[in-house]
Structure 1
Amino acid sequence: MTTLVLAALAVLLAGPVPWLMTRLHGFRRTPRAAMVLWQAVALAGVLSALGAGLSLVTVQLVGEQSVRSYALSAIPLSLTGLVLARLLLSGHRVGTGLRQLRRRHRHLVDLLAEDHDGVHVLEHEAPTAYCVPGLRSRVVVSSGTVSSLTDRQLAAVLSHEQAHVRARHDLVLEGFTVLQEAFPRVVTSKQALAEVQLLVEVLADRAARRRQGAHALVSAFSALLDGGLVQAPEGAVAATGSDLQVRIGLLLDDHRHRVQAGVLLLLAAGVLVLPTLLVVLPWLQGLAG
């Protein structure tokens, strides 16, 4: 029974639950709590997938110790190993690819851009602003961005990018990308990854708003778009990387929404506890037996 529950939970947490969450747009009003819930759902899905196989192995081995029980336990153990192997392989591919891209781009930025107190300015008339995250991060803007924004607007954009760097939002996005690549398309959702990308931008927007105010950031976004914004390179995290109209609306919402945040955090805790208990309890029962 535990195996079936865990297997069903893994499927639900991989597909239907993220699909539903992408349609509950009100979650975006509390981006930090929403991000915690997204991470809890992703982790619980992985735990459920691994736990389904492990619990079946426990069932087979707790009973009669025979060649048949060992043979039957090899099947779920192999499936569990396959899930784990796909996760590790996806993590290696995604992580290696992103780090190579960023390493090359940092090298180009160091060659072509001028460093102004930690901000790298590329000589280009089209506006762009992004960060190249990592241990040796770079915040990059074009000369077109500098000339098209006021000092306050530029400070707001830079605060946004620096928030990405400080919070290591790239690691959050990398983790969700790994899950997206590790599992078949039928049980994953591109909309889920897009929603997490939007939440990351909203979190950086909130950080910039606390430092420079909402008006400065909103007007900066408008000026960049009017100037013909250039898309950031692959592997970078850009201030204008997700739906700006949605983000502007959220920037203008200065309510705390504490009740919603609390509910989402409780949901995150519950989502994590359930598969953990379902994995641990069979092992404890097996040891007691």
Structure 2
Amino acid sequence: MTAVLVLAAYALLVGVAVPYILARARWTHRAPRLAVLVWYGLMATFVVTVALALYHVALRERHIHDGLLGLLTACGLLSGVTSPGSASSPADPAALLPPLIAVLLPVGWFLRTVWRTRRAQRRHLDVLAVVGRPSAEHDAVVVDHEIPAVYCLPGRFRTVVVTHGAIRVLSREQLRAVLAHERAHITGRHHLCHAVVEGFGRAFPKLPLARHAREQTALLLEMAADDRALRFHSREVLAAAMCEVAAGQTPRAAVGAGGPSVVVRLHRLLTPGAAPRRITRLGITVGSLAALLMPLIIACGPALG
């Protein structure tokens, strides 16, 4: 039972305490893609920890003293193998059900989110076929609307939408910059990144990790798209374009250049900081991997002792 208590405490640490610390970390805005991966690592760590804790509770620590070998054998991943001092036993379906639910619940919500997003995008494309017109000059669909807005429908449809109001108020260079931002969302498959976080949040709706991951990854993905656009356009041009389209409304299932994160992104663009050094990035990566492996070490602790 000691391993179960330690796993439960570790799940609370990852799911409740660490998200507050990471959400306030200063380096995340200077390395948004790495920060997104760290948030994913925390979510994966939480799921693995909960699954292992439920596994041990269901089996009443029947396989704990066999260590990782016994764990894999009980799960059916190894057969015909026995650990020293113990006999091989077949997997117990009733014992495997709780950890499977812990793993499959966020996966199921992820798939449902992808399906619902794709359906909403298909409906929006039907509307665009009526109110929009393809523009070869901008490689986008132009909608006759006076409010400046630029957004994209990522995934299978890969469509960038720009309103006539945005074309009117943006200079040619500013329009190119904001279009590059939207194409960065498409090439980066950021819709899947949003779906992963949304699926986790649906599976664990009251968890602080789910709330912070949803808020932070949405902002970090916008920053990652900004960084991609900055490869070809200046900070001043992109910042000016963002100001012009900040009030534009983005439809459901779309990703837009405006939105509530514009103020934070503008501050980041106009007061850039140095990116984390390579040794810092390496340390963060190693720490995330260690956090993910820790539940397995805890589960195998009795056998390693």
How does the TM-score come out when normalised to structure 2?
A: 0.81
Residue 116 in 1 paired to residue 135 in 2? yes
Per the TM alignment, residue 152 of structure 1 is displaced from its structure 2 partner at its CA by: 0.5
Q: 1:247 aligns with which of 265, 277, 289?
A: 265
How far residue 95 of structure 1 moved from its aligned partner, in angstroms, is 2.2
Partner-residue secondary structure (3-state), 1:121 = strand
Q: Find the counterpart in structure 2 of residue 87 from structure 1.
A: 106
Bigger shift: 22-31 or 181-190? 181-190
1:20 aligns with 2:40: no
Aligned residue pairs, count? 274
Determine the structure 2 residue equivalent to 1:185: 206
CA deviation after TM superposition for structure 1 residue 282, in Å: 6.9
State how far apart, in whole Å, the 2-side matches of 1:192 and 1:170 are. 15
Do residues 172 (structure 1) and 193 (structure 2) align? yes
Tell whether the 8 Å contact from 1:201 to 1:242 is kept in structure 2 after alignment: no
Q: How far 1:76 moved relative to its partner?
A: 5.4
Q: 1:282 to 1:266 in 2, by over 3 A?
A: closer
Q: What secondary structure, in the 3-state scheme, does the structure 2 residue paired with 1:211 have?
A: coil
Match of 2:254 among 236, 251, 254: 236
Q: Answer whether contact 2:51 2:103 (CA < 8 A) is retained.
A: yes
- The AA in structure 2 aligned to 1:40 is G
Q: Secondary structure at the match of 2:258?
A: coil
For the aligned residue pairs, the C-alpha RMSD in angstroms reads 2.7
Aligned partner of 1:160 in structure 2 is 181
Write the distance in 2 (CA, Å) between the matches of 1:254 and 1:184: 34
Question: CA offset at residue 30 of structure 1?
Answer: 1.4
Superposition deviation, residue 17 in structure 1: 1.5
SS of residue in 1 equivalent to 2:61: helix
Unaligned runs of 5+ residues in structure 2 are 66-88
Match of 1:197 in 2: 218
Partners of 1:120 and 1:139 within 8 A in 2: yes
Q: CA deviation at 1:202?
A: 0.3
CA contact (8 A) 1:121 1:142 kept: yes
For 2:55, the equivalent position in structure 1 comes to 54
> Larger helix proportion, structure 1 or 2?
1
C-alpha distance in 1 between matches for 2:276 and 2:214 = 24
User: Cα offset for 1:184?
Assistant: 3.9
Residue in 2 that maps onto 1:30: 31
**Displacement, 1:186?**
4.5
- The Cα of 1:266 is off from its aligned counterpart by 2.5
TM-score (norm 1): 0.85
C-alpha distance in 2, partners of 1:55/1:220?
54
Amino acid across the alignment from 1:49: V
Q: Distance in 1 between matches of 2:253 and 2:9?
A: 34
The corresponding residue for 1:270 is 290
Q: Secondary structure at the match of 1:60?
A: coil
The structural deviation recorded for 1:272 is 1.9
Q: Would you identify which runs of 4 or more consecutive aligned residues in structure 1 move more than 6 Å?
A: none
Aligned counterpart, 1:66: none
Q: Report if aligned partners of 2:141, 2:160 keep a CA contact under 8 Å in 1.
A: yes
Q: Following the alignment from structure 2 to structure 1, what is the Cα–Cα distance between the partners of residues 209 and 290?
A: 21
Q: For each residue in 1:247-283, what CA deviation from the matched residue of structure 2 results, as whole angstroms up to 9, or x when unmatched?
A: 122223152322543332232222222224445x479
Instruction: State the partner residue of 2:78.
Output: none
CA distance in structure 2 between the aligned counterparts of 1:275 and 1:5, rounded to whole angstroms: 9
SS class of match (2:248): coil
